[in-house]
Structure 1
């Protein structure tokens, strides 16, 4: 499903001659229907639709209350419910609308990577080629690191999902010196037989590049990589997250990736290539842009970001 900002305009009314009254009345019916469809399209995205492009916020995000997840009758059901199992902090998934669902949250990078550059530069197989185990990630101009950001947002996301009964597992939680490598991150989600996996990131693009985008797996079948069965479900997961992220944060889709859709398909990420379960990455904003950086450093905005992700994941799992 793709965003469509280019809705056709409603037909202009035709002049009615005295002898054509009957024809004119008949023509009004489809014209009225077309106008209603345009109004429906512009009234706001449904939960299973990508967000319309919103204006970039000039300062702090202006966000409304995040709505609850909705369902879509056309959605392919998520994988069957599993019995509750222990989450990363040892607690079992509770009761609630997401009871029995397993979500793996992958906080991008690791604060210790800066001290272990030789280890994270080691090449690992990602199916299509070999790539670095991990990277240090980026940071704001005043030193707030991507690893700090992703851990904070991931912890907020875990709490929100667990309140709805989901079993949440982390790929890491500041409990290892560096990494894990991208191939291991994928294996963690696969081993958990996760119903959904999200890898949380922030970008390091140029000043003036603003907004968020969700990265989806491309169709890849090479070596150990085979995304055949997850491309469709991952796109739906990512589309729901993008829509809810807009609603929760007030942030606009990226103005430099995805042609304004907030979605980007890639085949060069080992965490996606090697996944056998629905998985997406989200770049929540650009840490190198001062306006985006101000949002990313704001704890209230980070809570809204986590809420948007949680709502999107919940909508996907309940659909």
Structure 2
């Protein structure tokens, strides 16, 4: 799996101090003021240098893994995605096909689009971002492999991007954070902090309300997801909305709104690392 390196954002304030000749004042002397000595800094320039803020991003150099849920070829490979894998406290299918809107916009396509937009936003702030799959046409990888990618990179944080598919009356988003099992117990507290930061930024940035059918205050805690159980780095899932709800679906099928989703999530990562 490739690792895409984002260039750190280094911002500074360049000061150009040249010699400035002042016009002569009254008295008719016509003498110009002498230019400052080479290398000297005027009092105003010195003050500007002292007060220039550092603009280094909290994301600079952070290793972040984004996991776009499912994949475009999963539906054509039932034998592969249905094979059982160990998830730390039992077994589960390697992967699933995901859901879609009533109009046929697939969850795997939504997940991929948001993840690519988020990758770009994070890299612009200096993060080193890896996606768990290279395109939206393949199969898998298995949920355990997705977790392993972040573990092997010793990622500072990881997010699995999803959308839900339940009764049309259900609407809103929620974050899924891990219940601690033996394998992930060490990272569970940090995962909850990550989940809280992403939840708050997502709600503020998108205006989508908390889920009215799962979780409490936009947070749900589970120990049956291999992607969380097998993670040894801080990780959460986003269920960005219910694709079967007309209102949620209208937002998720809008490219401009997906950009808004990505921007909001990037802000959540920035808050977490701050």
Q: Which TM-score tier does this pair reach, normalised by the shorter chain? A: 0.7 to 0.9
User: 2: CA distance between counterparts of 1:176 and 1:195?
Assistant: 28
1:314 to 257, 270, 273: 270
Tell me, yes or no, if structure 1 residue 227 matches structure 2 residue 184: yes
Q: 1:250 to 1:87 in 2, by over 3 A?
A: farther
8 A Cα contact 2:108 2:136, kept in partner? no
CA offsets per residue over residues 126-179 of structure 1, 9 Å max, x none?
Answer: 011110000000001111000000000000100110111000001002177300
8 A Cα contact 1:272 1:279, kept in partner? yes
Alignment partner, residue 14 of structure 1? none
User: 1: CA distance between counterparts of 2:214 and 2:178?
Assistant: 15
Tell me, yes or no, if structure 1 residue 165 matches structure 2 residue 126: yes
User: 2: CA distance between counterparts of 1:105 and 1:125?
Assistant: 22
Q: 1:121 to 1:147 in 2, by over 3 A?
A: same
TM-score using structure 1 length: 0.69
User: 1: CA distance between counterparts of 2:205 and 2:78?
Assistant: 36
SS at match of 1:257: coil
Shift of 1:87: 6.6
Alignment partner, residue 237 of structure 2? 281
Shift of 1:91: 3.8
1:211 to 151, 157, 172: 172
Q: 1:290 to 1:305 in 2, by over 3 A?
A: same
TM-score using structure 2 length: 0.80
Shift of 1:117: 1.1
User: 2: CA distance between counterparts of 1:195 and 1:299?
Assistant: 28
Q: What root-mean-square deviation, in Å, do the aligned CA atoms of Structure 1 and Structure 2 show? A: 1.4
SS at match of 2:73: helix
> What pairs with 1:1-319 in structure 2 (closer than 5 Å)?
88=3, 90-95=4-9, 96-97=56-57, 98-174=59-135, 177-221=138-182, 226-259=183-216, 261-318=217-274
User: 1: CA distance between counterparts of 2:265 and 2:60?
Assistant: 18
CA offsets per residue over residues 170-199 of structure 1, 9 Å max, x none?
Answer: 100217730000000000010011000000
CA offsets per residue over residues 65-118 of structure 1, 9 Å max, x none?
Answer: xxxxxxxxxxxxxxxxxxxxx974x44442341222100000000011011111
CA offsets per residue over residues 257-296 of structure 1, 9 Å max, x none?
Answer: 113x000000000000000000000000001111111111
User: 1: CA distance between counterparts of 2:175 and 2:248?
Assistant: 16
8 A Cα contact 2:109 2:136, kept in partner? no
8 A Cα contact 1:151 1:173, kept in partner? no
| Matched residue count | 227
User: 1: CA distance between counterparts of 2:202 and 2:116?
Assistant: 17
Stretches of 4+ moved more than 4 A in 1? Answer: none
User: 2: CA distance between counterparts of 1:175 and 1:244?
Assistant: 27
